[in-house]
Chains A and B, each alone.
Chain A
Amino acid sequence: MTPATRPPPSRDAIRLLVVDPRSGAVADRRFDALPQLLVPADLLVVNDAATLPASLPARGPGGDAVEVRLLGPTAGDRWRAVLLGAGSWRQRTEDRPPPPPLAVGARLAFDGLGASIAALSPLSPHLVELAFDRAREALWSAIYAAGAPVQYAHVDAALPLWEVQTAYAGRPWAAEMPSAGRPLTWELLGAIRARGAAVAWLTHAAGLSATGDPDIDAVLPLPERYDIPARTVAAIEAARARGGRIIAVGTTVVRAVEGAAATTRGLVPGSGETDLVIGPGFCPRMVSSVLSGVHVPGESHFELLAAFAPRRTLRAAVGRAAALGYRGHELGDAMLILDGAAETHSWTSSSATASRPAPTGANTTRSTTPASTSLPPTIST
């Protein structure tokens, strides 16, 4: 699939491929049709992590160029990070040379900031823990002054920090943008709430999509921290109780919710770290539907989505998206795997008149929707 090489003219000016995992039906929609696809029982869960300026140019002890990609703080002034070698973001990470060998204690010099390597991961010497020589606001100010968001070789121009934030971002926890939420404008969020569906949030430290180090890339995603508010746990329980769908905005939300639910404590409010890797055969306990980018077979995100729709359905859907000219990657089009989408009354009514809100009422929940409603004309199965 061709990657999107620049942000769309407006955040929601992208396409939305809707996939019904039960029937295998797919529909080609505009992203701004999202509210009409939901019913009042539904719950949309977003990741409100702001994106860090996680990419910091540095010099090693011998003056060699190193790019540090921050994953997140571990404790105090210590951060987990991945080291890349010389080169620029215009090269794919796998084409970059490795960084110079650096031992524990080696110093890294940033613009206005210094750090030493406090620990090396057994997984790879390029996965490290850094001890910065500043703390608190001095450290945060220096990171924001020296850093830039992680960039993508397939994008035409460097993305400034504001291009990689969602419209509801709070704490800067994400090493890379939680991109599934990028097209969610406040107009759409308002329309979703006005429709009666609920919107809840959690914070998940979305990690790096690629590092160029085969040992690290083979095990991505690395363990990531999350924080789930009590209100969100209550909203998930309430939505399940009323038969609504839990729609995760992005694979990071899936990982946070299912990772928390898979612990012995179950889904409880609070923070934690999850090493859960979701793929085909994984049986989601909480999340029933996923809004994401369009991911092709071979990507780890595709494997995660295979927990929500049969691989055959996904492959067909992605093939259809490619044939329709969908764009992939962080700034590209979107895919909604929506449990029961083809049976949802609202879907069919909105396909005929896209601008007219679908009626609400007794027939807007899946259980009471006539199964005979037909799919939009763009459907293929």
Chain B
Amino acid sequence: MLLQDSSSLITGASRGLGRALAESLARAGSRVVMVARERGPLDDAVATIRAAGGTAHGIAADVGDKQAIHRITGAAAALVGPIDLLVNNASTLGPTPLRLLLDTECEDLERVLAVNLVGPFRLSKVVAGSMALRGAGVIVNISSDAAVEAYPTWGAYGVSKAALAQLSNIWNAELDGSGVRVLSIDPGEMNTRMHVDAIPDTDPSTLADPRDVAARILDAIAGVTS
């Protein structure tokens, strides 16, 4: 898939990796639709891309809300055309400071799964059908090493990311031959607000810049579409 003249939908796009990805994709010529819950930071991120000459639209929505899914996908396809690239980047840690499973409220686990697993599934289900019809498309699910390693207090988040990674695997098995590819990417530890929320005392100089990670992810997208 050539990013030039493509249509991208990125969740969690007002900050951190999502914003860096939206900026990189827009620079590569993709028309980006950016989703985030908070209008203020989202408008700021959209304005930055537009000021640089890119095409960007912001939709304030919560991917953990079932009612929001078609609002996002419908408005996105209306604004930029059928979606060629979906990046499921939005995710939540649940309440911070992070807690032991024994201290985790069941409702907090449900909320983490709704945002990190069910939301990406719902969005993918809508856009992958259109992609499979057209015979091309890429879905990127942002994973974490917490999907594999059993870090104490990272239970809800780790479970959600492990499930998301397996969801990516099964999507790929089912979509084999359709022209639609699903990437599960662990971006590593980045200097983002989420990381500060999770581990407040980390030295930021030891963390990757989300812009560098975004560049690697664009390379990975190019790798499965060339």
Contact = CB atoms under 8 A, between A and B. Distances in A.
A172 B77 contact: yes
Contacts of B133: 46, 48, 168, 170, 189, 199, 201
Given A144-B74, A161-B70, A162-B70, A186 B132 contact: yes
A171 B77 contact: yes
Chain A binding surface, main DSSP class: mixed
B82 A170 contact: yes
A140 B75 contact: yes
B79 A170 contact: no
Contacts of A141: 59-61, 71, 75
Contact of B129 (A52, A167, A199): A167
B108 to A, nearest CB: 26
Given A170-B77, A201-B133, A144 B70 contact: yes
Chain B binding surface, main DSSP class: helix
Given A168-B130, A169-B126, A169-B130, A137 B70 contact: no
A144 B72 CA distance: 9
A170 B133 CA distance: 10
A50 B58 contact: no
Interface in A71-125: none
Contacts of A137: 33, 57-59, 75, 79
Contact of A172 (B57, B58, B78, B132): B78
Classify chain B: how many residues form its interface, as a range. Answer: 20 to 34
A136 to B, nearest CB: 7
Contacts of A145: 71
A46 B132 CA distance: 13
A350 B98 CA distance: 58
Contacts of B71: 141, 144-145
B126 A140 contact: no
Interface residues of A, number: 26
B79 A169 contact: no
Contacts of B61: 141
Nearest to B133: A168
A46 B73 CA distance: 20
A165 interface: yes
Nearest to B56: A137
Interface string B127-171: 001101110000000000000000000000000000000000000
Interface string A47-70: 010101100000000000000000
A43 to B, nearest CB: 14
A197 to B, nearest CB: 14
Contacts of A186: 129, 132
B180 to A, nearest CB: 11
B132 A52 contact: no
A281 to B, nearest CB: 33
A165 B130 CA distance: 11
B53 interface: no
B78 to A, nearest CB: 5
B190 interface: no
Interface in A140-197: 140-141, 143-145, 161-162, 165-172, 186, 189
Contact of A144 (B58, B75, B129): B75
A181 to B, nearest CB: 10
B188 interface: no
A14 to B, nearest CB: 19
Interface in B42-80: 57-61, 69-71, 73-75, 77-79
B59 A168 contact: no
B81 interface: yes
A140 B74 contact: yes
Contacts of B58: 137
B30 to A, nearest CB: 16
A140 B75 CA distance: 5
Nearest to B135: A231
Interface string A262-297: 000000000000000000000000000000000000
Contacts of A161: 70, 74
Contacts of B77: 50, 170-172
Contacts of B78: 140, 171-172
Contact of A52 (B74, B81, B130, B134): B74
Nearest to B60: A141
24 contacts: A48-B133, A53-B70, A136-B79, A137-B33, A137-B75, A140-B59, A141-B60, A143-B75, A145-B71, A161-B70, A161-B74, A162-B69, A162-B70, A165-B126, A166-B129, A168-B129, A168-B130, A169-B129, A170-B82, A170-B134, A171-B78, A172-B74, A186-B129, A201-B134
Given A168-B133, A170-B133, A172-B78, 18 more contacts: A46-B133, A50-B73, A53-B70, A137-B57, A137-B58, A137-B75, A144-B70, A144-B74, A162-B69, A167-B129, A168-B129, A168-B132, A169-B130, A170-B82, A171-B78, A172-B74, A186-B129, A186-B132
